[in-house]
C-alpha cells in the first residue's frame, strides 16, 4: 500500500497551522506537539501497513478526529482565554464585538438595529486611524446570529463568568464537520474533505478571530445535507435559519426553489416546503423588522449597498476597486450604481445556471451554481473582501466532494 491523499493533506494543512498559531493558552507544551507528530506519523504507518479495510478506516478516522478536536479546540480556547486576560478587542473581529453588545441590548429591551455602538468595545476596535468604523452606526447581521448566541451567553456567563462570541461559532464549526463526516462514505474522500474544511489555510485564521462564515455554514450545510437525503421539510427549516443569520446565503434562493420544483413531481409538497422556509424565516426576522422597519432595513440592506449616510465603503478586490484604480470612482464612500452591472450580468447568468441545474439535477449542481452566481454577484457589488473569496473557496470545495447522486 502507498501513502494516501488524506495523509498528505494532514501534514500539509496541520503542520503549518500548529507552527504559526497558538494551540494552547500562552505557550504550547512540547508534549502536545509530540502527540500531534506521533498521530501524523501514525497515519503514514497505517497507510503502508497491510490491515483490513474496516480497521484501516476506523483507525484513520479516530486519529483524524483526535487531531481536529484537539488542535481546533486548543486554538479557540487559547484565543478566548488570551482575549479575556488582555483586552476585549484583542485579536477579535468587530462582528463578534457587535454580537456581544447586541445580546446585551436585547436583554435590556433595546433594539440592536436602532441603537448605535458608541461607548462599547467596538469603538476601540482598530478599524482605521483616520475614520470611524461604519459598524458603529449599523448592525448588519440578521437576527438569528444574535438569538442563537444568547443561550451560549447565558450558560457561559454562569460557568466561566464571561462570554466570548466565538463559543457558538466553534459549536457550529464542529457541527458542519460532523455533517460532512456523515455525508461522504468513501473513507479517503471523507477525511480529505474534513481536513480541507477544518484546516483551510485562509478560512481557519478568519474563523479563529470570529468572522461569521462558519456561523452561517453551520445551518446551510445541514440544509443541503437534508436536501440530499430528500428530507425536504427539515432542510427548509435549516435553510431558513441560514437566511436568518447572514445575507451571503440569500443568492441561493432562486436555485433552491428551482431545484425543489424540478426534482419533485408533487408540487404541493414543494409549496409546503417553501412555505415552511418562509414561515420560519418570517418568525425570526419580522419581529425585528416591525420593531423599527427603517433601522432594520438600513442596517441589513442599505448599509451594504451604499444607500445610508454611514454606509459600508467600497472595498476589497472587486469591480469597485478596479473602477477606483482607473479613476472612475474617486471616493470610496460614494454611492455608485453597482446594481446596474449586477442586473445586466446577473439575470442572464441566473437563467443559464437554472437551465444548467435542470439538466444536472443534483445538490452538487445546486452548490456549484450558487457559488458561481455568488462569485459574480459579489465581484460586482460594493465590496468583495478577502473573507468573501475564502468563503467561496469553501463552497467550491464542498461542491467538489459532494456525492453526485441524491438519495
pLDDT surpassing 90 at residue 317? yes
Q: Sign of dihedral through CA atoms 246, 251, 255, 261?
A: positive
Give Cα separations from 164 to 79, 97, 125, 206, 392 (angstroms). Answer: 10, 9, 15, 15, 26
Whether residue 406 has pLDDT greater than 70: no
* 134 close to 310: Cβ distance less than 8 angstroms: yes
pLDDT per position as a tens digit, 27-70: 999 999 999 999 999 999 999 987 888 899 999 999 999 999 99
- Grid cell 469553501 in the structure block, residue: 394
Residues of the chain above pLDDT 90, percent: 91
CA distances from residue 389 to 139, 160, 201 in whole angstroms, order as listed: 22, 35, 13
Average pLDDT taken over every residue of the chain = 95
Q: How confident is the model at residue 2 (pLDDT cuts 50, 70, 90)?
A: confident
Residue 323 has pLDDT above 50, yes or no: yes
Cell digits of residue 120: 462599547
Q: How confident is the model at residue 224 (pLDDT cuts 50, 70, 90)?
A: very high
Say which range, 124-128, 156-160, 292-296, 358-362, has the weakest mean pLDDT.
124-128
Min mean pLDDT across 161-170, 307-316, 377-386 is at: 307-316
Mind listing the pLDDT tens digit for each residue in 147-199?
Answer: 999 999 999 999 999 999 999 999 999 999 999 999 999 999 999 999 999 99
Minimum mean pLDDT range among 101-105, 208-212, 278-282, 332-336: 332-336
Report the pLDDT averaged over residues 69-91: 95
Looking at residue 266, its pLDDT comes to 87
pLDDT at 207 (0 to 100): 96
pLDDT at residue 383 tops 50: yes
Q: Confidence class of residue 129 from pLDDT cuts 50, 70 and 90?
A: confident
Task: Flag whether pLDDT at 407 surpasses 50.
Answer: no
* Backbone phi, psi, residue 229, to 5°: -85, 0
Report the C-alpha gap between 137 and 124 in whole angstroms.
14
Within 8 A by CB and 6+ apart from 122, the residues are 94, 97, 98, 101, 133, 135, 136
Residue pair 283/103 in contact by the 8 Å Cβ criterion: no
Amino acid at each position: 500500500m502507498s501513502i494516501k491523499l488524506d495523509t498528505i493533506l494532514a501534514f500539509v494543512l496541520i503542520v503549518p497551522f500548529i507552527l504559526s498559531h497558538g494551540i494552547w493558552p500562552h505557550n504550547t507544551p512540547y508534549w502536545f506537539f509530540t502527540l500531534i507528530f506521533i498521530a501524523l506519523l501514525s497515519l503514514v504507518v497505517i497507510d503502508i501497513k497491510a490491515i483490513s479495510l474496516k480497521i484501516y478506516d476506523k483507525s484513520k478516522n479516530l486519529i483524524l478526529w483526535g487531531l481536529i478536536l484537539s488542535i481546533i479546540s486548543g486554538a479557540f480556547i487559547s484565543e478566548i482565554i488570551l482575549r479575556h486576560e488582555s483586552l476585549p478587542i484583542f485579536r477579535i473581529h468587530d462582528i463578534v464585538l457587535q454580537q456581544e453588545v447586541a445580546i446585551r441590548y436585547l436583554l435590556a429591551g433595546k433594539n440592536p438595529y436602532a441603537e448605535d455602538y458608541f461607548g462599547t468595545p467596538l469603538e476601540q476596535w482598530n478599524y482605521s486611524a483616520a475614520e470611524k468604523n461604519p459598524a458603529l452606526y449599523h448592525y448588519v447581521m440578521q437576527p438569528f446570529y444574535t438569538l442563537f448566541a444568547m443561550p451560549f451567553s447565558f450558560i457561559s456567563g454562569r460557568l466561566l463568568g464571561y462570554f466570548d462570541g466565538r463559543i457558538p461559532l466553534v459549536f457550529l464549526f464542529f457541527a458542519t464537520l460532523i455533517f460532512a463526516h456523515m455525508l461522504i462514505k468513501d473513507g479517503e474522500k471523507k477525511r480529505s474533505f474534513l481536513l480541507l474544511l477544518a484546516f483551510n489555510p485562509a478560512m481557519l485564521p478568519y474563523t479563529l478571530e470570529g468572522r461569521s462564515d462558519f456561523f452561517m455554514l453551520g445551518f446551510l450545510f445541514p440544509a443541503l445535507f437534508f436536501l440530499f437525503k430528500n428530507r425536504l421539510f427539515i432542510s427548509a427549516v435549516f435553510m431558513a435559519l441560514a437566511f436568518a443569520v447572514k445575507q451571503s446565503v440569500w443568492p441561493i434562493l432562486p436555485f433552491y426553489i428551482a431545484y425543489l420544483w424540478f426534482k419533485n413531481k408533487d408540487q404541493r409538497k414543494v409549496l409546503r416546503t417553501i412555505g415552511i422556509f418562509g414561515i420560519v424565516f418570517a418568525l425570526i426576522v419580522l419581529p425585528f423588522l416591525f420593531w423599527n422597519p427603517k433601522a432594520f432595513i438600513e442596517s441589513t440592506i442599505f448599509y451594504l449597498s451604499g444607500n445610508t449616510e454611514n454606509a459600508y465603503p467600497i472595498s476589497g478586490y472587486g469591480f469597485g476597486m478596479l473602477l477606483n484604480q482607473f479613476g472612475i470612482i474617486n471616493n470610496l464612500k460614494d454611492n455608485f450604481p453597482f446594481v446596474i452591472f449586477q442586473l445586466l450580468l446577473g439575470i442572464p447568468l441566473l437563467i443559464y445556471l437554472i437551465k444548467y441545474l435542470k439538466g444536472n439535477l443534483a445538490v452538487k449542481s445546486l452548490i456549484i451554481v450558487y457559488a458561481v452566481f455568488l462569485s459574480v454577484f459579489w465581484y460586482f457589488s460594493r465590496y468583495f473582501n478577502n473573507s468573501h473569496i475564502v468563503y467561496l473557496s469553501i463552497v467550491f470545495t464542498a461542491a467538489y466532494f459532494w456525492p453526485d447522486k441524491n438519495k
